[in-house]
Structure 1
Amino acid sequence: MHTIALFGGQDPQGLTAKLTHALLEACEGTHEFIDLNQLTLRPDRRGEANPALDALEQKLAAADVWVLASPTYFGTVAGTLKQALDCLRPRLTRMTHQGDTLPGKYKGKVYLTITSCFASGLENTFTHQTDACLTMLDKAMAAAGLRKAGELILPGTWNAHAIPETKIAQAQALAAKLPAKVRRDNETMKRYLLLFGMIAIMALATMGIQLLIPATTMNFWTRYASFVLIFFVLLAGILHYATFVRHKHR
């Protein structure tokens, strides 16, 4: 397995880069760390050679896992990494005649994201400072058809000089799971089991709530209507959590 990391922060010796190196060193097989600050990338232009972008794409094509690492700057991705993704966009995706963006030739590859912020873990949990950064990276990779293997968030970097051992352990645990992610071991079955478990728990919770409110079980139609309404509210809450509050801020 070959893992490649694209680092877009301003300091290749900083904490975000160090956490990225910690993950790479724990990965099975070979790995490469690319400091995008050392590259001069530009978009493709018709009739012009683009050797820098060609070389970067060749490295990405040879990798089984992509790691996208960037501190959170002004609530979003560092400009260097954003520029690289913008330049690569036509090579990662394909466009239909209607202008729809579809996954390109790297569909099915695996990626993970790493970011950091000055805010403490508790503060980031409530203010979601890293969400926009991670969401932007996820959106780009989803458009390219890549599968997410996980994410690492390093909060509290203000005046910090070392990575907490707990974060090193998280990086190592995530690296250990990557080979299975690349092989797609039991992913389909896991999704079905997760869906079944979620529905079973929601149905049980809905019936429990109905028992607490006798008026909802007076007859068949009130029982049916209340079940649908309560189930919908619970489902909406879970989907909201999965969409907006899924990142591990701490």
Structure 2
Amino acid sequence: MSIIALFGGQDPTGLTATLTRAVLAGANTTSEFIDLNQYDLHPDRPDAPNPALDELEAKLAAADAWVLASPTYFGTVAGQFKQFFDVFRHRMVRMNLIGDTLPGKYRDKHYISITSCFASGLDNTFTHQTDATLTMIDKAMSAAGIHKVAELVLPNTWGMQAVPGAKLEQAKRLGAKLTTKQQKDDETMKRYLLLFGMIAVMALATMGIQQLFPVLTGGFWQRWASFVLIFFVLLASLLHYATFMRHKHR
């Protein structure tokens, strides 16, 4: 198995890059770290060569899994990383006759996303400093049909001189996890089981609340109406929490 890491940021020896290299070390397989600063990234033009994109296209195709790393600057990915996604879009996805974006040649590969920010973990949890960075990566990968394995966030980088040992170990574990993923979407059954479990728990909680308030179960329609209302409120709260905590923040 081979893994390729794309780094977009100002410092290829900095904290985010160090964390990225730790993921590759944990994978313990053939890997390559690519600093996008070293590439002349510009759009494809008719009848004009584009050796930088040709090289990246070949490397990404040869790799079984990707690690995508960018610090969070002004609430989103670094310029180099955004430029790569912009100019590489037509090589990563395909368009149908009505302009729909469809997965291209890289579909069913897997990836890990990495970012960092100045905010503390607690601050990032409530202010979502890194969410836009991770969402941007996820959107591009989803369009390309590439499956997410995990994401890694390094908060509180202001004044930090070295990546904490615990975070480096976490990165290495994610690297090892990346090598175990099958090259297909193997999460379907897991999603169905999670959905079943969520519904079962919500139904049980709803029935428990009804038992606490006998007035809610005075007749068939009263029992049904209260069940639907309580179930909806509980499910909406759970989904809101899941959306709020969608990304890693610490």
Same fold (TM over 0.5): yes
CA change 1:186–1:84 in 2 (3 A) is: closer
1:132-151 alignment runs, 5 A limit: 132-151=132-151
SS at match of 1:129: coil
Instruction: Confirm or deny: 8 A CA contact 1:71 1:116 kept in the other structure.
Output: yes
Per-residue CA deviations over 1:168-211 (Å, capped at 9, x if unaligned) read: 12112211211232345963332222222111111111112222
Aligned to 2:68: 68
Within 2, Cα distance between the matches of 1:175 and 1:39? 25
* AA at the equivalent of 1:206: T
SS at match of 2:48: coil
Within 1, Cα distance between the matches of 2:103 and 2:185? 22
Query: Identical aligned pairs, as a percentage?
Result: 69
Within 1, Cα distance between the matches of 2:101 and 2:241? 26
Aligned to 2:245: 245
Per-residue CA deviations over 1:105-148 (Å, capped at 9, x if unaligned) read: 21111011000000111111111100011111101111111100
1:208-219 alignment runs, 5 A limit: 208-219=208-219
CA change 1:141–1:228 in 2 (3 A) is: same
Within 2, Cα distance between the matches of 1:111 and 1:10? 22
1:1-250 alignment runs, 5 A limit: 1-183=1-183, 187-250=187-250
SS at match of 2:158: coil
CA change 1:66–1:74 in 2 (3 A) is: same
Within 2, Cα distance between the matches of 1:15 and 1:39? 21
Normalised by the length of structure 2, the TM-score is 0.95
SS at match of 1:72: coil
Instruction: Confirm or deny: 8 A CA contact 1:153 1:249 kept in the other structure.
Output: yes
SS at match of 1:77: coil
Normalised by the length of structure 1, the TM-score is 0.95
Per-residue CA deviations over 1:64-89 (Å, capped at 9, x if unaligned) read: 11111000000000010010011111
* AA at the equivalent of 1:33: F
Unpaired segments of 5 or more residues in structure 1? none
Unpaired segments of 5 or more residues in structure 2? none
Length, aligned pairs only? 250
